[in-house]
Amino acid sequence: MASLKDLKNRIASVKATQKITKAMQMVAAAKLRRAQEAAESARPYADRMGTVLGNLAAGFEGRDDAPKLMTGTGRDQIHLLLVCTAERGLCGGFNSSIAKLAREHAKRLLAEGKRVKIVTVGKKGYDALKRDMGQYVIEKIELRGLKSIEFSDTKAIGDLVINLFNDEQFDVCTLFFAQFQSVISQVPTAKQLIPASFPESGSERRSSWWKCTVRIRTERTGDA
């Protein structure tokens, strides 16, 4: 049987642990609030970018001098999957749902006789795909050492994709990411980047670019 002194020590230890976890909770809440504010503040820029790109796509429609990044190579044989996940886990199904969507897309393409190449951004995406899709991964990018993602970091990823396209390494590029809705809801989404894909109607074209998904529902239901 524990002595009175042991019980006092245990009580003191539990109280100290409570203080530590309370401090960790406050730090996590502050980080979560900053992340939410950053995501919400980016929406107006995403909306405007969608409008600009949609207008450009409409202006170049049917023209022979249209940029290949918008019109593509005219082929549909080699597909590049750009899978963006987090660097760390312990976030529920955030990473696994993105990897699952990319895996299903890759398997469908392979079943159709297409070639698949994968670029992973984020350690967890590569970890989830390396077992059954590792042979298709041509590049893995980890950003764990960065405290915050700057424009230069994202530009390097964009330059990599553009250089691969200019070298005719792929025909179609699809981005896989989590679309932010709230701090507890992020929807796994696929967005075709190259050739550029936009809604057909003018009103839809002016809607938010990052809300556009590429046939996710039709891929899951089999409707064409």
Q: What ranges do the domains of the chain cover?
A: 49-221
Mean pLDDT, rounded, for 201-207 = 42
- The Cβ-side half-sphere exposure at 117, using a 13 Å CA radius, reads 17
And the tokens for 201? Answer: 């109607």
Architecture of domain 49-221: 3-Layer(aba) Sandwich (3.40)
Q: Do the bridges between strand 78-84 and strand 137-141 make them parallel or antiparallel, or are there none, so unpaired?
A: unpaired
Give Cα separations from 152 to 86, 88, 90, 158 (angstroms). 18, 21, 28, 10
pLDDT exceeds cutoff 50 at 213:
no
Of 43-52, 64-73, 87-96, 163-172, the range with the highest mean pLDDT is 163-172
Mean pLDDT, rounded, for 197-214 = 45
CA distance 168 to 115: 13
Query: Which among 84, 91, 173, 212 is annotated as catalytic?
Result: 91
pLDDT exceeds cutoff 90 at 117:
yes
H helices of 61-172, in order, are 68-71, 94-111, 123-133, 151-166
For CA atoms 197, 105, 166, 156, give the dihedral sign: positive
Mean pLDDT, rounded, for 115-125 = 90
CA distance 13 to 117: 53
Contact 122, 159 (CB under 8 A): no
Verify whether residue 91 is a known catalytic residue.
Answer: yes
Mean pLDDT, rounded, for 89-110 = 87
Instruction: Judge if pTM exceeds 0.85.
Output: no
